[in-house]
Amino acid sequence: MQVQWYPGHMTKAKRMMQENIKLVDLIIELVDARAPISSRNPDIDTLGAGKSRLILLNKADLAEEHWNSRWIEHFKEKGILAVKVNSKKGGGIKSIQGVIQEACKEKMERDRKRGILNRPVRAMVAGIPNVGKSTFINSLAGKACTKTGNKPGVTRGKQWIRLNRQVELLDTPGILWPKFEDQRIGLCLAMIGSIKEEVLNLEELAAHAVSFLNREYPGMLEDKYGTSRCEDPYEALAAIAQSRNCLLKGGEADIEKAALLFLDDFRNGRLGRLTLERPVKEEIE
Ligand code: GDP
């Protein structure tokens, strides 16, 4: 299945990102907790060289708790501090300021030794589209804080959100681009709803998601829709159509409607918490 991308916008995004990255000490990288590999950007390690780093497993409420913890351990083993958050409901947000300071500990220590005191750490949020960057910034900004900068004649353009005396956050997130060339990643992002719907064959995508559930979460589909197990994903979609009354005029199953309904349930956690990618060594290296 071909997944189409939108690299046009990404060129501009990349330029902005490169510009903004120069201004900050810390990159707060948001990934989707359900797919922390596919939702990461391949170039972030190069782009962020020399900067402090923090990974947020966002939408942690939609992923399995057990795997969230495993991912946190996994990133820790790679030397990157990672924490889980639910930006929508504010879960984990309160403790974020402490975590940010923790991530910048070395930088602050270096400053102190050089006699630089009271210079706030500057941070930016980055991530691929739809991982929850704006939701996170709003959630954090709602808890703090006064905006700084942009006073007439003083600063132009950039707005900083003052989280506390030690930390300032750039109010616009850096948009990163996904790994365009890998179809597996495209599918994974499509399943979690990070790619525009119009460019996808929804039935094929839904069939793919059904197969994933049959393999990794046996029984989940049947529990949700009261259907019996079908190995063939299209038959499973037809059964969902019957059970949810998605029927065409002649009483035939409306697979397209069922696919839409099912994908919406899948993406929004109504089937249960789902982790699509698990930490496996060879996938990461
Ligand atoms: P951005 O493109 O990275 O800025 O993403 P947005 O902030 O616009 O969020 C994309 C979608 O994800 C929105 O529908 C949000 O409500 C939703 N979202 C963001 N964070 C979370 C979260 O932690 N949990 C859940 N369940 N949904 C979230």
Residue boundaries of the structural domains of the chain = 7-175, 201-284
- Identify the pLDDT of residue 8: 65
- Identify the pLDDT of residue 5: 53
In 3-state terms the chain splits into helix, strand, coil percentages (rounded to 5) of: 45, 15, 40
Query: Using a 6 Å cutoff on CB, does residue 88 contact ligand 1?
Result: yes
Is the predicted pLDDT of residue 108 greater than 90, yes or no?
Answer: no
Instruction: Report CA(131)–ligand 1 centroid distance (Å).
Output: 6
- Identify the pLDDT of residue 182: 82
Region of 38 (left: φ > 0; alpha: ψ -120 to 50; beta: rest) is alpha
Mean pLDDT of 188-205: 84
* Two structure tokens written together for 52: 């402090």
Is the predicted pLDDT of residue 15 greater than 60, yes or no?
Answer: yes
Is the predicted pLDDT of residue 233 greater than 50, yes or no?
Answer: yes
CA angle 200, 203, 205 (to 5 degrees): 60
Residue 268 annotated in ligand binding: no
Single-letter code of the amino acid located at 200:
L
Q: Name the pLDDT band for 197 (thresholds 50, 70, 90).
A: low
- From 32-36, 38-42, 68-72, 262-266, the region with the lowest mean pLDDT: 38-42
Contacts of 94 (CB under 8 A, 6+ apart): 143
Decide which of 2.102.10.10, 1.10.1580.10, 3.20.20.10, 1.10.10.410 is the CATH code for 201-284: 1.10.1580.10
Question: What is the predicted ipTM?
Answer: 0.99
Residue 121 annotated in ligand binding: no
Query: Using a 6 Å cutoff on CB, does residue 86 contact ligand 1?
Result: yes
Residue 135 annotated in ligand binding: yes
Q: Where are the beta strands (DSSP E) in 47-108?
A: 52-58, 81-84
CA 212 to chain CA mean position, Å: 20
Q: Name the pLDDT band for 135 (thresholds 50, 70, 90).
A: very high
258: phi then psi, degrees, rounded to nearest 5 = -65, -40
Is the predicted pLDDT of residue 123 greater than 80, yes or no?
Answer: yes
CATH code for residues 7-175: 3.40.50.300
* Two structure tokens written together for 134: 């704006």
